[in-house]
Amino acid sequence: MDDQGCPRCKTTKYRNPSLKLMVNVCGHTLCENCVDMLFVRGSGNCVQCDTPLRKSNFRVQLFEDPTVDKEVEIRKKVLKIYNKRDVDFSSLREYNDYLEQLEDIVYNLTNNIDVENTKLRMEQYQRENRDIIQRNKAKLTREQEELEELLLLEQQGNEQRRLDVLQEEQRQLQAKRKNKQALLDELEKSQLPATILLAQHKVRAAQLETQIEQQKQAVKPTNLFSTGIHMRQTVSLQPVPKIEEVLYHYKPLHVEIDGPPVPELEQLGRLGYLNHVRAAMPQDTAGGYTSALACHRAIQDAFVKRSL
Amino acid sequence: MFHNSSQRKYWIFSSEDEVEQMRYKANQKFRNKIAESGKPGVSESTFLERHEEDVLFRHYERRLLDFCNAFKPVMPKSVVGTAIMYFRRFYLSNSIMEYHPRIIMLTCAYLSCKVDEFNVSSTQFVGNLLQESPAGQERVLEQILEYELLLIQQLNFHLVVHNPYRPMEGLLIDLKTRYPTLENPESLRKSADDFLTQAAMTDAGLLFPPSQIALTAILNSASRASLSMESYLTECLGLKGDKETLSKMYDSMRRMKTLLKKYELPKAEEVNVYKQKLERIHAEFSTSSNKRKRGYEEDGHVAKEPRITEEEWTDEDLV
């Protein structure tokens, strides 16, 4: 599970499995304790590559390979700038080219190739496409808000249902208790013999039970589908565009033969070829295999067109 | 089927000269590559000549055949045929000096088991290398897996090979059904089989369609047993009136038989001399034999420990 240790204090990671490794922008890891020790002043140099770092840049490592974490961080930053979506492009090819550009940039930054140039390119892109970036940022936030609203609604619905169920249970418990109490009271006060009273009590308890059962089965009528569409509401959607294509016609395989025509599968038995082929065992026929298949294939292969 | 297969489109050549030309080009390409890389102390004599390469090629091909024949569980003939064909095709466009045949030959066998659906696990496969310890077998397996993708690439991803064994079966069935003049076609089977194995060791697979090779095998074994099958050709194969096709067919059969006659077993002393040369070449010029796709480890980041360096295993470690 943990084949890496902290490169500095080495042993501590094995001894303390709950200790987390932190990664930062140069891609090297340090355990929490070492981070605290080295960066007590807030900034310092990385142990392995000596790049100047800040303590705030350390993030808890999520992936086993620290370079993956580094790439994830870089990707997040780049995507903030390169946030065009597929609808912004007029053709699939352009979108793919854009994506490839994006991947090149992320790759370069992750592997420290040509960092200066890449950063220049990014800035240039940012300047050129400022308004598109803004627009997409706004769209993104709107979408997120809508999502959150939906989530909130769902949560509220769940809560409501839970409370309802609890209340139901409470009521049922109370009814049962009342019933028992009533029995005790009657036993005290009434003149009738105890057996009759008990019988009456049993009847009432049974009635209560059936009532509870019925309530459980009564489904609360809703008027909303889960997607939010009201029931009995006719939703007119856009008509699906009809795509007309050429009908497929089956053309049987044409094998060019040099020599006598190969007989059809069905005729092989009649013509006596099958006498010379190993008969199919019961296990083989279960899967649909017949000896004619092997025979046909062998003969076809023998007489297939020779000249090129 | 063969007639719309990649083998017919890309791997059947018109003459032995064309094939020889391709091999010569591969040899030249390697020499130029080394010359360009500017290594000092390289003279023309350190490289292998074409005929020396041929001898070594035949030697390793024979070892491949022996390996496949000694294989447990028993390898079907089509798998052997496919492996030999891969070996041959690979060295059409690559030089022996660049990739050592002993690894390529095992990779060919491994790949052909997979392609021909002859299910052998990788451990079982290297278990057939009886001279190696289990650790040595592991190392061989790693090397095989390294070269597998290269092999597939050099075959241009054309992995389906049509061997002449099935057409031979078909011809035998046809003989038994429609040619009662010949009493016992089964007697032809053994020598036809031998003919086919010998043909696999020549360039016949690269020059003729497999049904042609099968027909030649049958006719050859018939003539060896002094049985006449002329009437089969003319009557049953419907070539009575077609003189041209018939003569063309006889022509190709003659060419094939010449090819088989030209084949000679490599001589042991020659082989040893050339092998020494080859080992020297590989020791000097072997470039990327141990490089492997390392993914994220390109920049010397905190990475996993480097793999244990492999000791080179020699020919004697094979069957």
CA–CA distance, B29 with B91 (Å, rounded to integer): 13
In the stretch 31-50 of chain B, residues with CB closer than 8 A to chain A read none
- Could you tell me whether strands A21-23 and A52-54 are parallel, antiparallel, or unpaired per DSSP bridges? unpaired
Lowest mean pLDDT among A2-6, A200-204, A235-239, B188-192: A2-6
**At residue A45, what are phi and psi to the nearest 5 degrees?**
-110, 150
The three-point CA angle A259-A265-A270 to 5° equals: 90
- The more confidently predicted of residues A125 and A190 is A125
B301–A305 CB contact, under 8 Å: no
The nearest CA of chain B is from the CA of A54 a distance in Å of 19
Kindly write down the DSSP assignment for every residue of B207-229, as one continuous string.
HS-HHHHHHHHHHHHHHHTT---
Which band of pLDDT confidence, cut at 50, 70 and 90, is reported for residue B317? Answer: low
Lookup: tokens for A270: 């009649």
A7–B302 CB contact, under 8 Å: yes
How large is the angle between the packed helices B186-200 and B243-262, nearest 10 degrees?
60
The residue-averaged pLDDT of B40-46 equals 71
Mean of the per-residue pLDDT values for chain A? 81
- The more confidently predicted of residues A286 and A221 is A286
Which segment, A94-103, A262-271, B297-306, is predicted with the most confidence on average? A94-103
Q: Look at residues B147, B102, B104 and name the one whose alpha carbon lies nearest to residue B319.
A: B102
CA–CA distance, A168 with A203 (Å, rounded to integer): 22
CA–CA distance, B87 with B154 (Å, rounded to integer): 11
Taking 50 as the threshold, does the pLDDT of residue B299 lie above it?
no
Q: Look at residues B207, B2, B166, B213 and name the one whose alpha carbon lies nearest to residue A257.
A: B2
Mean of the per-residue pLDDT values for chain B? 83
Q: Is the peptide bond before A52 cis (omega within 30 degrees of 0)?
A: no
Lookup: tokens for B89: 């095709």
Q: Which chain B residues are within 8 Å of A29, Cβ to Cβ?
A: 302
pLDDT of residue B21: 92
3-state secondary structure of B180: coil
Report the length, in residues, of chain A. Answer: 308
Which among A108, A304, A308 is the top mutation candidate for probing chain B, defined by the most B β-carbons within 10 Å of its own β-carbon? Answer: A304
**A and B: number of Cβ contacts within 8 A:** 96
The residue-averaged pLDDT of B247-258 equals 86
Run of H or E residues at B189: helix B186-200
Which band of pLDDT confidence, cut at 50, 70 and 90, is reported for residue A28? Answer: confident
CA–CA distance, B14 with B223 (Å, rounded to integer): 27
Q: Which chain A residues are within 8 Å of B2, Cβ to Cβ?
A: 301, 304
Which segment, A51-55, B222-226, B290-294, is predicted with the most confidence on average? B222-226
CA–CA distance, B232 with B180 (Å, rounded to integer): 10
CA–CA distance, B151 with B88 (Å, rounded to integer): 11
**At residue A21, what are phi and psi to the nearest 5 degrees?**
-95, 140
Lookup: tokens for A189: 């006060």
HEC profile of chain A:
CCCCCCCCCCCHHHHCCCCCEEECCCCCEEEHHHHHHHCCCCEEECCCCCCEEEHHHCEECCCCCHHHHHHHHHHHHHHHHCCCCHHHCCCHHHHHHHHHHHHHHHHHHHCCCCHHHHHHHHHHHHHHCHHHHHHHHHHHHHHHHHHHHHHHHHHHHHHHHHHHHHHHHHHHHHHHHHHHHHHHHHHHHCCCCHHHHHHHHHHHHHHHHHHHHHHHHCCCCCCECCCCCECCCCCCCCCCCCCCCCCCCCCCCCCCECCCCCCCCCHHHHCCHHHHCCCCCHHHHHCCCCHHHHHHHHHHHHHECCCC
Q: Is A202 exposed, middle or buried (CB count within 10 Å of its CB: 0-12, 13-18, 19+)?
A: exposed
Which band of pLDDT confidence, cut at 50, 70 and 90, is reported for residue B240? Answer: low
Which band of pLDDT confidence, cut at 50, 70 and 90, is reported for residue B277? Answer: confident
Q: How many CA atoms lie within 13 A of A183 on its CB side?
A: 17
Which band of pLDDT confidence, cut at 50, 70 and 90, is reported for residue B157? Answer: very high
pLDDT of residue B310: 43
Taking 90 as the threshold, does the pLDDT of residue B81 lie above it?
yes
CA torsion, points A278, A283, A286, A287, in degrees to nearest 10? -80
Contact (CB, 8 A) for B211 and A301: yes
- Could you tell me whether strands A59-60 and A21-23 are parallel, antiparallel, or unpaired per DSSP bridges? antiparallel
Taking 60 as the threshold, does the pLDDT of residue B296 lie above it?
no
CA–CA distance, B64 with B80 (Å, rounded to integer): 9
Q: Which of A28, A29, A299 sits opposite B173 (nearest CB)?
A: A299
The residue-averaged pLDDT of A212-227 equals 73
pLDDT of residue B159: 92
Run of H or E residues at B274: helix B268-285
Q: How far is the CA of B173 from the CAs of A215, A273, B194, B228, B279, in angstroms? A: 78, 7, 19, 18, 49
How large is the angle between the packed helices A115-128 and A130-189, nearest 10 degrees?
80
Which band of pLDDT confidence, cut at 50, 70 and 90, is reported for residue B305? Answer: very low
Kindly write down the DSSP assignment for every residue of B20-79, as one continuous string.
HHHHHHHHHHHHHHHHHHT-TT--GGGSPPHHHHHHHHHHHHHHHHHHHHT-SSPPPHHH
pLDDT of residue B307: 45
- The more confidently predicted of residues A153 and B132 is A153
A307–B248 CB contact, under 8 Å: yes
In the stretch 280-299 of chain B, residues with CB closer than 8 A to chain A read 296, 298-299
Q: Look at residues A31, A36, A41 and name the one whose alpha carbon lies nearest to residue A9.
A: A31
In the stretch 239-278 of chain B, residues with CB closer than 8 A to chain A read 239, 245, 248-249
A222: Cβ–Cβ under 8 A, 6 or more apart, which residues? A231
Q: How far apart are the first and last CA of chain A?
A: 60
Q: Which of B2, B173, B236 sits opposite A304 (nearest CB)?
A: B2
* Alpha helix stretches (DSSP H) within B116-164: 122-126, 134-154
Q: Name the residue type at position A100.
A: E
Which band of pLDDT confidence, cut at 50, 70 and 90, is reported for residue B173? Answer: confident
Percent of chain A with pLDDT over 70: 90
pLDDT of residue A12: 66
pLDDT of residue A34: 80
A297–B166 CB contact, under 8 Å: yes
Which band of pLDDT confidence, cut at 50, 70 and 90, is reported for residue A155? Answer: very high
Lookup: tokens for B239: 């070539």
Which segment, A5-14, A99-108, A237-246, B241-250, is predicted with the most confidence on average? A99-108
- Supply the pTM of this predicted model: 0.59
Contact (CB, 8 A) for B253 and B203: no
pLDDT of residue A13: 67
**At residue A182, what are phi and psi to the nearest 5 degrees?**
-60, -40
The residue-averaged pLDDT of A109-113 equals 82
pLDDT of residue A89: 83
